[in-house]
Amino acid sequence: MRPLILEKVVNNSYVHAKACNEYECRLKKLRAAHHSECVFNRKPSIVPGLQFSFDDAGVLHGTFSCNGYQQGYDQMVHGGVIAAVIDASMAQCLMGHGIVGYTADLSIKYRKPVKIHTVSTLVTSIAEVKCNLLYTLNCIISQEEICVKANGKFFKVK
């Protein structure tokens, strides 16, 4: 599926917006206005070191490493922490696209354990938009191989 890409008109032709800077500026502005006290945005964060950035196509990339405070079963990140990271990444992705949305549905498939003390990467993208109100997003978390796949639906806040 093709990620949502914002374009602008320059000299009567479409060009891709400077995605990284524009996405990250929108994220920073909307996060400050609507999401500043989220457990992932305040210090200390529930997952210290969680970092997000956008690529030129508007796809959100993130890295994090959990420790014993986020552990569930021995040497594994708690599934609820993983779900919260996914939900946060989807909300951040939407804000980077200029949209504030609330989670309506979240479906997670845990394929392999996410290990503590190991760097995890995540990739979150907008998969579908219906009536400019319902946004479907996908997220994948990997540690050398795919550990978790998730789909979420978010309602746009007016």
What is the tens place of the pLDDT at every residue in 66-88?
999 999 999 999 999 999 999 99
User: How large a percentage of the chain has pLDDT more than 70?
Assistant: 87
| H or E element in which residue 51 lies | strand 51-54
Asked whether residue 151 is domain-assigned, the answer is: yes
- Total domains in the chain come to 1
State pTM to two decimals: 0.84
> Residue 2 falls within a domain, yes or no?
no
Chain segment 84-121, per-residue pLDDT in tens: 999 999 999 999 999 999 999 999 999 999 999 999 99
Instruction: Give CA–CA dist 78/97, Å, rounded.
Output: 29
Res 5 pLDDT > 50: no
Q: Is residue 63 part of a domain?
A: yes
Please state, in angstroms and rounded to a whole number, the distance separating the CA atoms of residues 113 and 41: 25
User: How many CB atoms sit inside 10 A of residue 102's CB?
Assistant: 11
Distance CA 126, CA 19 (A): 14
State the residue range of the domain holding 70. Answer: 7-156
Q: What is the CATH classification number for the domain harbouring 51? A: 3.10.129.10
